Amino acid sequence: MLKRKAETLLKEWKNKKDRKCLIVQGARQVGKTFLIEHFGEENYGEVLEINFKQLISAADLFNGDLNIETIVNGLKFRFPEKKIIPGRTLIFLDEIQECPEAISSLKFWAIDNRYDVIASGSLPGIDYKRASSYPVGYVDYIHMHALDFEEFLWGLGISEDMIGSLKDCFESRRSVPDPINRQMMNYYREYIAVGGMPEVVGEYVRSKDFREVDRIQRALLQGYQYDIVHYATAEEKIKAEKCYLSLSRQLLDKENHKFQYKELEHGGRAQKYYSSIEWLLKADIIQLCRFVSAVRYDLDDYARDDFFRAYTTDLSLLISMKDLSLKQHIIENTLSGNTKGGLYECAVADALYKKDYSLYFYKNDSTKKEIDFLIQKQGNVVPIEVKSSNTRASSLNSLIKNNPEISLAYKLIDGNVGINEEGIVTIPLYMGMFI
């Protein structure tokens, strides 16, 4: 079984004295159901799981009055083999978006406060709004992602002590021994080619067969396309799919990675397609990195919604939009030009997204200055540049010189740890997991 960081969050929820119901959010196939089932088996005497897609008739239990005693009696009648005991039974409502009344019931489970209830489902940002009464204030949330690079290393059997020693190098700004650094970059390129979707990582750990990895990745991509067709409104289906499938061209084939509607059709405009971008964002199918007109806190005050880069929420999905040969070039480190630079940029965006940062970028056409990523930590702006080799980051150097209030900046490279004369911290690309 792949070790997941979200399991720690589930344990923290269980240990709360006055815990609410829990909603585990996240895109499809990131491992939500498997993790909750495993957590239930490890921490409860009984798990009562209802998958509303699989057991459609179970929705009847939530029709009528949402009285908890009535619902529990209905569950006992429907599932006589299950012992529903307060504090010892986990009630797991999976694919809950298929039963709006079950969503509404979470408020009353929380008020009753005798039973531990976890809900999960696909496309939460869209389908939960179908509930007649959303339980605002009565639920806690966990946003679950596909595996990040650290979890990928766990899957490969890399010890936490080894990862801890790398983190010490990151924090102390000390070089990693060259043989270890080279091996970590090899692992990192494997991660870029495989991505973090649990089914894909599990297959790679078992077989190291990139053809089988590719087959699973493409099946997952088709599943995401199915979700777009299944859940999007009639007017959004085709437009949303076009936007999504254009990301590999937008990010890997062009020097300018700003999302361009002309890549969708000749004369494409935001007026036609932006609602589809919003739909994909709410569905947790894409993430956005928004342009800011100034590099100062709070970045959100300077951000523009109409000028952005769009990334997939996992590298598996981006890589599967390209030919199988791309994986070979990644592993053999034979990429060059826009593809190599774009791919490393996507990998860093992936790492920052999975750390739950909001992403921004800066570009000044008159001065030709551009900063790949800006994040915010403890009220401070942290600029980040991504380089496919250890070349000079002139835009970042200029930004630091002209903005003394910026106390920390990173340059991520295919190289080792160091600090330049401007105080910019240079780190290997794989250390994005520690930012």
Inform me whether the pLDDT recorded for 182 exceeds 70: yes
Q: Please tell me the CATH superfamily of domain 6-143, with its number.
A: P-loop containing nucleotide triphosphate hydrolases (3.40.50.300)
Tens of pLDDT along 382-411? 999 999 877 778 899 999 988 989 999 999
Per residue, what are the HEC states of 372-422? Answer: EEEEEECCEEEEEEECCCCCCCHHHHHHHHHCCCCCCCEEEECCCCEECCC
Q: Are 341 and 388 in contact (CB under 8 A)?
A: yes
Element (H, E) at 68: helix 68-78
Strand partners, 293: none
* DSSP 8-state class, residue 232: S
What is the arithmetic mean of pLDDT over 46-55? Answer: 96
Counting residues of the chain whose pLDDT is more than 70, the rounded percentage is: 97
Q: How far apart, in whole angstroms, are the C-alpha atoms of residue 21 and residue 71?
A: 16
Q: What is the pLDDT of residue 124?
A: 45
Q: How far apart, in whole angstroms, are the C-alpha atoms of residue 418 and residue 427?
A: 7
Q: What is the pLDDT of residue 365?
A: 83
Q: What is the pLDDT of residue 130?
A: 56
What is the arithmetic mean of pLDDT over 12-40? Answer: 95
Cα-only R_g, the chain? 23
First to last CA, the chain: 27
Tens of pLDDT along 370-384? 999 999 999 999 999
For residues 265-296, one letter each, b for 16 or more C-beta atoms within 10 angstroms of the residue's C-beta and e for the rest, the string is: eeebeeeebbebbebbbebbbbbbbbbbeebe
Domain ranges of the chain: 6-143, 152-434
Choice between 230 and 96, residue whose per-residue pLDDT is larger: 96
Band of the pLDDT at 133, cuts 50, 70, 90?
low
Band of the pLDDT at 39, cuts 50, 70, 90?
very high
